[in-house]
Every structure is written in C-alpha cells, then in structure tokens.
Amino acid sequence: ASDNASGVIVLLLLAELLEDYSGDLGVEIVAMNGEDYYSNPGEQQYIALNKDHFSEILLGINIDDVGYSKGRTAFSLYDTPETIASITKRVFLDYEELVAGEAWYTGDHGIFILNQVPALAITSNEMAELMREITHTPNDTPDILDRTKLVQIAYALRDLVYGIEEHQRA
C-alpha cells in the first residue's frame, strides 16, 4: 500500500489535476519499479530512453512510501537551483501536512541526481519506522494510509507545476 500503491495514487490524482494544463512545461508522469531489489528495470529503461535528454529536465520527482497515517509528509531537495528550491518550499510549506525532511539517497530520485538533474523526493517523515516495520512486509496494507495526505501531495505537486510555470514566464 505505501510501497508503492500510494505513490501511484498520487500520480493518478496529479494527472487528473493537470488534465487541463496548457503551460509550456512538459510534465511526464512515470511509474518506476525495482529499486529495492537492485534490478531496477523501470529505472534502466527510463535511463536508456532519456540518456540524451536529462539536460532538458528541470526537476525529477520521486514519490515513495507516502500517506503513512503516522507523522507527516516530508520532502527533500537535491542539487536544486535556488529559484526552484524557493518555489518548492513556498508551495509545499503552504500545506500543513508537508514538512522539510532529511535527505535520503536510496530511491528512484537517485537516477536524476546521478545524471546531474535537480531532484525532489517525497516520503513520510516516519520513513525509518516504515522501513523497519511495514515496507516489504504483510503489514503494508491500505489501513495504514491516510488518504487525505495523498490528496494534499497531489495538490501540492499541481501547485508546484503552476508555480514553476509562473516563474518561467516572469
């Protein structure tokens, strides 16, 4: 549920929220898999398809283990230009549920970092507990999720797209 159906739910909600988006930013919504088992077929395919296009990506975003009913949703930035970092913090911190979190490098955002693309990672600030007690266990069930957190993340990401778009036009 949290790893990673909740992330897919956020992507689907975001796609719905952006269905009428007509700005200049290209928004690519991609579900990847396999980083936990080091075979990472989704990441490998994405890298192969985009190896000559990483310089065109403004921000790679990873949504992983979100919606846990305990704690809040944490975001962290990686090699992000100050303008995008500032927009992200302004937008995200408008949502009571979202807080700045600790950096972590073991997720799908690593492919962006390794390819010199700024990245944003979104997870639970209770990630240590999730990893220790829930993720990859039978305890990872829908009842551990707070669905309102998933909705807030999708709205925050929508607002981030529009915030970056507004900055690009200025």
pLDDT surpassing 70 at residue 35: no
* The pLDDT of residue 119: 96
CB atoms closer than 10 angstroms to residue 58: 13
Is 170 in contact with 30 (CB distance < 8 Å)?
A: no
More confident residue, 12 or 111: 12
CA-based Rg of the chain, rounded to a whole angstrom?
15
